[in-house]
Homo-oligomer: A and B are copies of this chain.
Amino acid sequence: MAKLLLGKEVNTALNWKTTERVNSLKAAGITPVLAIVRVGAREDDLYYERGAEKRCAQVGIEVRKVTFETGADTEQLTAAVKALSADPAVHGVLILRPLPDGIDERAVCEALSPENDVDGVTTASSASVYQGRGPGFAPCTACSVMEILKHYGIALRSRRAVVVGRSLVIGKPVAMMLLGADATVTVCHSRSGNLPELCRGADIVVASAGRAKMLTGEYFSPGQTVIDVGINTDSEGNLCGDVDTAAAERIVDAITPVPGGVGSVTTSVLAAHVAEAAERLSGGADHAMRRVSAGVKK
């Protein structure tokens, strides 16, 4: 049976590091702050907001909730996001999406400065991910894939990775980051032929197809690491991924469960991004520490 790559183990390690970073920032007089922008009270949004709040509290990040009635318009939201970007006390901004119909979501996202864009929703963040340089962040879910691979020491250099899915939230950014880690990367999608064969030939399979249990046993071969990004509901109403886990875990070396895999790591990545944003905006944690020392000398 395959080894399970557990989100909770990644979280423990990642949050420990984030807590250290937050403590260094606080020692330098900077309390990292995440602003969460929410419109209305969709159950999904409230669930994610609660998770983000809990995670931030755990590592010492302050959360500022900025909520709007369902009737809020593009102008109000854009103005609020601009104000948050301009506020030096705010380091990260998370806009809970999708925004209600009638709101120009793109305009609201673009109002965010890339320095505060901890979930990678701006065009500038996209460019940073693509170019491998720049001020933005990759989307938290895509980063969660990379954190799991890193935490479990899965070698990427010179290895073959297949990413199923080409979205801007997962497929493309994961492909770019795997490429940055020197993997040979294949991006597949709904129009790809021979998907099972392509997946069987990979060392690492990242499944983000968005279809419940689409990757059945024939997609896998021994020795593989499988990262399942899907979150779906199966015919019996149970949460499941894009991989038929029961079939895959009899074949592959290692696999993330759903739930308890990629999805459970996103708020830890979000918190790490807020710490990172605070460090960058203050000129780095070391710089912040030096500022404190300078202050003490005075």
Contact = CB atoms under 8 A, between A and B. Distances in A.
Given A126-B127, A131-B126, A131-B168, A189 B182 contact: yes
A172 B123 contact: no
A108 to B, nearest CB: 17
Interface string A105-126: 0000000000000000001101
A172 B127 contact: no
Contacts of A175: 187
A68 interface: no
A130 B179 CA distance: 14
Contacts of A185: 186-187
Contacts of A184: 186-189, 191-193, 198
A76 to B, nearest CB: 25
A182 B187 CA distance: 10
Contact of A127 (B127, B157, B159): B127
A200 to B, nearest CB: 13
Interface in A136-191: 157-160, 166, 168, 172, 175-176, 179, 182, 184-189, 191
Given A123-B131, A130-B126, A191 B187 contact: no
A280 B166 CA distance: 28
A188 B159 CA distance: 10
A189 B179 CA distance: 9
A71 interface: no
Nearest to A198: B184
17 contacts: A123-B127, A124-B127, A126-B127, A126-B131, A127-B127, A130-B168, A157-B191, A158-B193, A159-B193, A160-B193, A175-B187, A179-B189, A182-B191, A184-B187, A184-B188, A184-B189, A184-B193
Interface of A: 123-124, 126-127, 129-131, 134, 157-160, 166, 168, 172, 175-176, 179, 182, 184-189, 191-193, 198
Given A123-B124, A127-B127, A158-B193, 6 more contacts: A123-B134, A126-B130, A175-B187, A184-B188, A184-B193, A185-B186
